[in-house]
Amino acid sequence: MEPFSADHEWEKIYQRHVDTVYRLCYMYLRNAADAEDAVQSVFLKLLGREMSFSDSEHAKAWLVVATRNYCKDFLKSWWKTRRVRLDKLPELARQADKETTTDMLEKLLKLPEKYKTVLYLYYYENYAVKEIAAMLGRKESTVQTQLAAGRKRLKTEMGDSHVQLSTE
């Protein structure tokens, strides 16, 4: 593939991966406005670099790592720790009837980072353990251990009867 300077290539990568980047940003930041800003920043970072990717999966892997790093940096930033978020104000009403998948995603977002990232990539983005290990710079055995521990914690949070996570 040619260096990443062609507008057409950039647009194809953006269209193909913007939803994944947004979901990851939202998973980390738990705020739609912050997630949208983060998506913009990640893609601007990509646009500002002379990048070449061997295929779409290589681009997606770069975006996943860049997104994770951006969100972690944002969460540590002075701006994030010193402002009052409007979404912290009490909500007027919540739906009484939540679906199990919504509950599960909410519980997943509350897990420690090392568990929620591997669970998200495995179950929501359908990456294999080997691919997750390569993306996150961890050993496959570490990812497998984190998946098992994350599943256990998620089952505990949800109650065993509500959670059926495949280990395939």
In this predicted model, what pLDDT tens digit does every residue of 93-137 receive, in sequence order? 333 334 456 677 778 888 888 888 888 888 888 888 998 999 889
Class of the CATH-defined domain 7-82: mainly alpha
Q: pLDDT tens for the chain, 168 residues: list them.
A: 444 446 678 888 899 999 999 999 999 988 888 899 999 999 999 888 877 788 888 889 999 999 999 999 888 886 655 554 444 434 433 333 344 566 777 788 888 888 888 888 888 888 889 989 998 899 999 999 998 898 888 888 877 544 555 555
Do the beta carbons of residue 143 and residue 118 sit within 8 Å? yes
pTM of the model: 0.54
Distance CA 70, CA 72 (A): 6
Do the beta carbons of residue 127 and residue 121 sit within 8 Å? yes
For helices 7-29 and 56-76, the axis angle rounded to 10 degrees is 40
In one-letter notation, the amino acid at residue 39 is V
Query: Which CATH code of 2.40.50.140, 3.20.20.140, 3.90.1170.50, 1.10.10.10 fits the domain covering 99-162?
Result: 1.10.10.10
Residue 49 DSSP class: S
Which residues of the chain does CATH 1.10.10.10 include?
99-162
Sole residue written with tokens 């779409």: 56
Which residues of the chain does CATH 1.10.1740 include?
7-82
DSSP, collapsed to helix, strand or coil, labels residue 20 as helix
For helices 32-47 and 7-29, the axis angle rounded to 10 degrees is 150
Distance CA 53, CA 158 (A): 40
Terminus-to-terminus CA distance in the chain, angstroms?
Answer: 33
